[in-house]
Structure 1
Amino acid sequence: MSKQHDIVASPVNEYDEDNVVNPSSNPHFDEILAARLSRRVALKGGISTTAAALLGGSILSACGGSDDPAPAPGPAPAPAPAPAIKLGFTAVAKNKNDLVTVPDGYNVSILHALGDPMHYGDLSWQDDGSESADSYNRRIGDGHDGMYWFGLSDTTGGFQADRSDRGLLAVNHEYVVAPYALHPAGRSTGAARNATEVEKEIYAHGVSIVEVKKDTAGVSMVRGSRFNRRITSATTMDFTGPARGNAQLATLFSTGATQTRGTNNNCANGYTPWGTYLTCEENYLNVISRAAGDDAQRSAKEIISLNRYGLPQNRKSPYLWDTAGVTDLFVRWNSSVTGAAATADYRNTINTFGWVVEIDPFNPDSTPAKRTALGRFNHEGAWPAPAVAGKPIVIYMGDDSRNEYIYKFVSKANWDASDVGKGMAAGAKYLDEGTLYVAKFNADGTGTWVELTFGKNGLTSTATPYAFADQADVVINARLAGDLVGATKMDRPEWGAVHPTSAEVYMTLTNNSNRVATTATPTGSQLKPDAANPRYYVDVKNGTTQQPGNPNGHIIRWKEDATDVTKMTWDIYLFGAQQDAAADVNLSGLTDVNDFSSPDGLYFDKRGMLWIQTDDGAYTDVTNCMMLAAIPGKVGDGAKVTAAGGTATIAGAKATADTVRRFLVGPKECEITGIAMTPDNKTLFFNVQHPGEDTTPDFAGKSFGSYWPSSQTDANARKRPRSATVVITRKDGGEIGI
């Protein structure tokens, strides 16, 4: 995702996902923990595994039909266990080099970077910002983030799940890192934006899909492939599911509320077993404004919804796209009442973002779909559990803002492997009907999933403060639904990952500098520690700068109950910390080979190896951001502990050099994010986002905070820094990491 380093108060016109927009009285973990943990948490049971078409593994889930749902069917027989994997590389040392540093025996190459042409007819990137706005409909976008590999069949031109030497790579472009590389001399100043610059930024957002091949020459993008495609902030998209046609989605562009244009600020991602890509809209408030005095034009319900989603009146977006002109390309970013009805303006623009978007990478002519059944909020990503024949599809999601919730979606239809390759039709089958749940966490390490269905759990037309009209209203206002049913407030759920066989779910909680001591009286958006976010301490950066709160972050995990889909158990897998921190800060026992800060990206490969990426500012006086490889245990393998500040929690087993190890370190001032691996585990892709972001550029003198990716092969390079996708292979051709 975009830079989320030290969390500080931001100007009113800048969207800060760390600002609290959740005014509900739902309990924090500190309130739940009033009774504290008086005994060791009993973490029993498990999730049986079974072979599953294409993906393997299992998850026992079903749609709840009432407030007291019936238990799920019993577990299927477990297959023979896979051979144990072991980390097989020497840990990379922490460093501040301006290149990607990998273990001995590994190769690094660049697949594509901002501005690289995907087709013939456009010039290569010129390093001067001269590329036209229109050309970014055919160039790689900016702010590389989440991604996924789809094997490509030679015979059908469709999805081949086991293909590793030819495939399609879908990559998110979260935001434009202006003024670094996109424009000739950075972003122009002034109250109104330059139309040409804004048009370029609109097209540089979204998703790139490119064909990739691996041969004796290495791994490369196939320029000119018929599959190469850009989806941008201007691409037409369908609404599907319960909110399709609802008046809250109506705009001048689509008076019937069946379509919209663009996907924006796409951070993490997901995939489906039928071979489509899920891209997720997170910090879309970066591009949406709302006028002063607009509340006077709104109903009471509208005002509640707008404020709950962080769009009060008199808010100008940081990008100011709506100021660049009077055409729909620009004015649609103003979510204010300007016409006689919603069908005459873009007052509902805010409601058209915050969705999970499905894209068929194998059909360049297909229309992406915003799958509304999965709810609207700041989607960090959408992570599927392993698909099991005859059982529902299950997708886990986090709302990446402080005090927000963790969700899961359970399809109404049961998985049928014959749907592989059926693209958007399969998506409609599995993603347009189902049950949305929100998580509640209990003090004893258990948790429940509460159904968000109109007419249940208080989600009715008489609910207060927000009266729900129907299921469309519930999914459009999923945050308000979570408030009403008493979901547990969490601290910015970031990326998630699901173990391919155990189906245990992991989610990063990156950092929180607004956490205060248990003895303090919180003010504003400050929070005391709680069981899921238990540490309060003061870290020192550069020998002088004090960083209070939980500046290094941690990773929580949970597993579903084997017999009841509404229940789970949880613990904290790893605590980020520098290796010499106090024991009640460094609760995971990290050492010089695996200490880290601010975990963000997560990914399980098919072997069950977990990859952890960082987006950090707290530890960058010592090292650039990094990626670690881990072989995790399971929920319940640790013990009850007391964290710095005195809060009790449940920690996983301590890390060792054999279970967690630093695999790479990135270039200067970057975030390491996005990861995908080919099915043979021999090619790893990851993204470097915003290298050099913390330094004000000098375009005339060609002085930047980073010169990557050109610095990867030329230490004397002075080209502009660019976000890019990196390819890692082993020199001996073997599997990555072992």
Structure 2
Amino acid sequence: MANPNAGGRLLPLLSTPHKGGRSALTCQFRCGNACAHDVANTTGNAYFGDVVKEALSRRGVLRAGALGALVAGVGVAGAAPALADEPETAAAKGGWHGGGSGDLRFTPVPPNTEDALRVPEGYKSSVVVRWGDPVLPGAPKFDFENQTADAQSKQFGYNCDYVTLFPMGRDRALLWVNHEYSDESLMFRGYTSGATATEEQLKIGLAAHGGSVVEIERSGGSGEWKLVTKGRRRYNRRITAQTRMTFSGPAAGSDLLKTAADPKGRTPLGMLNNCAGGTTPWGTVLTAEENFNQYFVNGDKVPEAQKPYITRYAITIGTPSDNRRFDRIEERFDLAKHPNEVNRFGWIVEIDPFDPDSTPIKRTALGRFAHEAATTTLARDGRLVVYMGDDSRFEYIYKFVSKDRYIPGFDRHNRTLLDEGTLYVAKFTGDSPATEIDGSGKLPSDGEFDGSGKWLPLVSGNKSFVDGMTAAEVLVYTRTAADKVDGGATKMDRPEDVERNPVTGGVYVALTNNSNRTPAQVDEANPRPSNKHGHVLEIVERHNDAGEKTFAWSLPLVCGDPSDPATYFAGYDKTKVSRISCPDNVTFDKDGNLWISTDGNAFLTNDGLFVMPVKGKERGHLRQFLTVPVGAETCGPLVTEDQRSVFVAVQHPGETDDATPESPSSRWPDGEGSQPRPSVAVVWHGAGKKIGA
């Protein structure tokens, strides 16, 4: 670790040990240094390999087939799902064709530590929008030395994460971006801790959270997009930690959500730590609140009956962290005074980008945890399905299936679908003898890490499937419910983004890493102890139907250096692939190729964006498409439907252990003499070709 006192200031918050490729600053401000704390899930639930083998066949109808056409992709709101080949037909053809099967032609970007956004030869990149750029009318030009909370509430927020696009014709669109967290040590000169920060700095930090809607336009018919800076820009909007919202669904109005300021338990204030997300078929954003636990103090002073539940969400019991002390300006963050306030965070929030006056909705039917992703699709019978991950070590993967069906064009009906349905948690079973999973990463005798699984119901409307818990308790304390449900939900290695392939229908989960996995916990779906590089999981549901309760799974990618025998690239020649570590966000292009962004890779080089075909002879041929600047992680990403542009959110550039505003480790994106600014960038081919062609 670099000297935490560099730059002539004391940074006690950096003294806590951290793991992996992230800097201590990132660990502290992004997730409250979660890896340095005890694992929140101390239940006896099984890991993959501990589960008794079930009778489901991995080679039968659960294994082949896929549901096509992801409904919630860019610009396809309201589209009907197109079905791919039936399982037997696909098997007879020797595999899938036409979906994510390759035809990607570019020279991979080599690993590097440059303070730049590097793209392949023939490609160009530019910044679309930066931290501090004006969003709302009256917003001043960004001035690092003279920031105010009022200005920040009208300007583009800090660390950008999830990115999605809503086309308004061919050459104009609305861009939605999450603002996950603030890093006050890089935002302000002389910052030491939340305990000594000025009140204005704390208010700026709150205003820097949330999300932004901005209008963008295509530049000269190319793949470049730019921020619209002139004209009315009627859709531009800032959501912050102080925006008035509403609860909907079965837990709305529950005693668990009531506070002194909101005795009815229906009007929460703001959203925090929004990471990944999704879109709906009716054209709204679903944004995921993740590491909300770190914003609260005095967890040891909540009522005794509440303590087991808040510790399950890693709320500090004991001395409050001086990382952020928002309780100094808003007492709702002090759990000694408002113990239920913490229950009002950790939700999926729905926002209408086309109505800047609309009230954001926290959808309680989707459960409460460290949400990562909210990817929607349709079941065969038209019900809406939402896939979600819980981004912490040894946490779970979830799915919500609506009670009623989606009706194209019936907006008033469709906007009720997220309020009633069944919330499930995933259970996975390996199919190889335990003796063949020895921790070396060697493939079992059947040649693949794979198996079968079930979706276990937790709650449906007001009916709980968890003994001793009401429906409201299941939805507010979803982690505890998943621990207790009959059948045994499966502990995972930090389930982050979950996305569905629009061509094959396979569901892909980024499992970022888990350095806490011990040799005794190694199993077929987590084949290595101290899993510092992570892996990608593929789920194929029965009968190609997202509404089904059983599935097959496999690991097409076990990350790391290809020269390491404990890596796997879907059987592709490992001498021809790029190395990859810590998969975070994933997406697909229109052809069904898998795009993977990384966060905190363990190689100590810059993070990047990678692409890998998932079918055909090129399956597993992973290549690095771009790298981000020093200290940054790659977020987003988004490939436009016409495949002429790739958007990435460059989060926390310059967030390294020795960085200060006086001595920044990055000058991206504005160059010499500037401070690093989290930004959304776009990449396109200089000759107007399709991305990857």
Range into which the TM-score falls when normalised by the shorter chain? 0.7 to 0.9
- Structure 1: how far apart are the matches of 2:474 and 2:274? 23
1:491 and 2:478 are equivalent in the alignment: no
> Partner residue of 1:67?
none
Shift of 1:426: 5.3
Q: Does the 8 A contact of 1:271 with 1:384 survive in 2?
A: yes
> Partner residue of 2:562?
579
After superposition, the Cα gap between the structure-2 partners of 1:439 and 1:7, relative to the gap in structure 1 and judged at 3 Å, is: farther
- Structure 2: how far apart are the matches of 1:84 and 1:585? 18
1:271-330 Cα deviation digits (max 9, x unpaired): 1011000110000112112254x25xx252x222122222253252454334423xxxx1
Q: 1:240 aligns with which of 248, 263, 266?
A: 248
After superposition, the Cα gap between the structure-2 partners of 1:96 and 1:51, relative to the gap in structure 1 and judged at 3 Å, is: closer
Q: Does the 8 A contact of 2:535 with 2:558 survive in 1?
A: yes
> Partner residue of 1:663?
625
For residues 338-349 of structure 1, the aligned pairs below 5 Å read 338=337, 346-349=338-341
Q: Does the 8 A contact of 1:253 with 1:260 survive in 2?
A: no
> Partner residue of 1:433?
420
Q: Does the 8 A contact of 1:192 with 1:324 survive in 2?
A: no
Quick one: which amino acid aligns to residue 554 of structure 1? Answer: H
Shift of 1:371: 0.4
1:305 and 2:292 are equivalent in the alignment: no
TM-score relative to the length of structure 2: 0.84
> Partner residue of 2:469?
468
Q: Does the 8 A contact of 1:91 with 1:593 survive in 2?
A: no
1:536-581 Cα deviation digits (max 9, x unpaired): 3xxxxxxxxxxxx121111111111017811000000111111322
What are structure 2's unaligned runs of at least 5 residues?
1-17, 84-89, 91-95, 432-450
Q: Does the 8 A contact of 2:398 with 2:426 survive in 1?
A: yes
> Partner residue of 1:524?
none
> Partner residue of 1:5?
20
- Structure 2: how far apart are the matches of 1:593 and 1:585? 11
Q: 1:176 aligns with which of 170, 173, 182?
A: 182
1:133 and 2:146 are equivalent in the alignment: no
1:724 and 2:679 are equivalent in the alignment: yes
> Partner residue of 1:334?
334
- Structure 1: how far apart are the matches of 2:257 and 2:464? 24
Shift of 1:607: 2.4
Quick one: which amino acid aligns to residue 625 of structure 2? Answer: F
Specify the SS of the correspondent of 1:310.
Answer: coil
Q: Does the 8 A contact of 2:283 with 2:352 survive in 1?
A: yes
Shift of 1:730: 1.4
Shift of 1:23: 2.4
Q: 1:28 aligns with which of 44, 47, 54?
A: 47
- Structure 2: how far apart are the matches of 1:58 and 1:213? 29
After superposition, the Cα gap between the structure-2 partners of 1:555 and 1:81, relative to the gap in structure 1 and judged at 3 Å, is: closer
1:254-273 Cα deviation digits (max 9, x unpaired): 11001110100001011101
Quick one: which amino acid aligns to residue 649 of structure 2? Answer: N
> Partner residue of 1:391?
382
Q: Does the 8 A contact of 1:335 with 1:349 survive in 2?
A: yes
1:505-554 Cα deviation digits (max 9, x unpaired): 11111122222334xxxxxxxxx212221113xxxxxxxxxxxx121111
- Structure 1: how far apart are the matches of 2:56 and 2:408? 46
1:61-92 Cα deviation digits (max 9, x unpaired): xxxxxxxxxxxxxx9xxx99679651021211
Quick one: which amino acid aligns to residue 528 of structure 2? Answer: R
- Structure 1: how far apart are the matches of 2:460 and 2:375? 24
- Structure 1: how far apart are the matches of 2:177 and 2:69? 31
Quick one: which amino acid aligns to residue 146 of structure 1? Answer: Y
Range 171-180 or range 691-700, more displaced: 691-700
Q: 1:567 aligns with which of 517, 532, 550?
A: 550
> Partner residue of 1:447?
453
For residues 177-576 of structure 1, the aligned pairs below 5 Å read 177-180=183-186, 182-183=187-188, 185-189=189-193, 191-216=195-220, 218-223=224-229, 225-292=233-300, 294-295=301-302, 298-300=303-305, 302-325=306-329, 330-336=330-336, 338=337, 346-385=338-377, 387=378, 390-419=381-410, 422=411, 425=412, 428-444=415-431, 445-453=451-459, 459=465, 463=467, 467-469=468-470, 471-485=471-485, 486-518=488-520, 528-536=521-529, 549-562=530-543, 565-576=548-559
CA RMSD after TM alignment: 3.2
Shift of 1:586: 7.5
After superposition, the Cα gap between the structure-2 partners of 1:261 and 1:38, relative to the gap in structure 1 and judged at 3 Å, is: closer
1:684-724 Cα deviation digits (max 9, x unpaired): 21111111111423434xx211111124xxxxx13111111
Specify the SS of the correspondent of 2:117.
Answer: coil
Quick one: which amino acid aligns to residue 689 of structure 2? Answer: G
Q: Does the 8 A contact of 1:58 with 1:501 survive in 2?
A: no
Specify the SS of the correspondent of 1:719.
Answer: coil
Q: 2:171 aligns with which of 165, 170, 186?
A: 165
Q: Does the 8 A contact of 2:587 with 2:594 survive in 1?
A: yes
1:660-694 Cα deviation digits (max 9, x unpaired): 21111111111011122332121221111111111
Quick one: which amino acid aligns to residue 254 of structure 1? Answer: D
Q: Does the 8 A contact of 2:70 with 2:500 survive in 1?
A: no
Specify the SS of the correspondent of 1:225.
Answer: coil
- Structure 2: how far apart are the matches of 1:96 and 1:83? 30
After superposition, the Cα gap between the structure-2 partners of 1:552 and 1:379, relative to the gap in structure 1 and judged at 3 Å, is: same
- Structure 1: how far apart are the matches of 2:194 and 2:461? 50
Shift of 1:51: 9.8
Quick one: which amino acid aligns to residue 250 of structure 1? Answer: K
Range 164-173 or range 195-204, more displaced: 164-173
Shift of 1:190: 6.7
> Partner residue of 1:539?
none
> Partner residue of 2:445?
none
- Structure 1: how far apart are the matches of 2:384 and 2:341? 30
After superposition, the Cα gap between the structure-2 partners of 1:114 and 1:573, relative to the gap in structure 1 and judged at 3 Å, is: same
- Structure 1: how far apart are the matches of 2:151 and 2:136? 10
After superposition, the Cα gap between the structure-2 partners of 1:437 and 1:266, relative to the gap in structure 1 and judged at 3 Å, is: same
Quick one: which amino acid aligns to residue 305 of structure 1? Answer: Y
TM-score relative to the length of structure 1: 0.79
1:95 and 2:87 are equivalent in the alignment: no
1:324-358 Cα deviation digits (max 9, x unpaired): 23xxxx1111122x3xxxxxxx2111100010000
Q: 1:706 aligns with which of 663, 666, 684?
A: 666
Count, aligned residues: 628
Specify the SS of the correspondent of 2:49.
Answer: helix
After superposition, the Cα gap between the structure-2 partners of 1:405 and 1:86, relative to the gap in structure 1 and judged at 3 Å, is: same
Quick one: which amino acid aligns to residue 537 of structure 2? Answer: I
Shift of 1:177: 2.2
Shift of 1:48: 4.9
Shift of 1:6: 4.6
- Structure 2: how far apart are the matches of 1:683 and 1:274? 23
1:619 and 2:603 are equivalent in the alignment: yes
What percentage of aligned pairs have identical amino acids? 36
Quick one: which amino acid aligns to residue 392 of structure 1? Answer: R
Shift of 1:235: 0.4
Q: Does the 8 A contact of 2:421 with 2:461 survive in 1?
A: no
Q: Does the 8 A contact of 1:205 with 1:232 survive in 2?
A: yes
1:121 and 2:138 are equivalent in the alignment: yes
1:467-496 Cα deviation digits (max 9, x unpaired): 313x22211111111111121111110111
> Partner residue of 1:46?
65
After superposition, the Cα gap between the structure-2 partners of 1:693 and 1:436, relative to the gap in structure 1 and judged at 3 Å, is: same
Q: Does the 8 A contact of 1:57 with 1:501 survive in 2?
A: no
> Partner residue of 2:446?
none
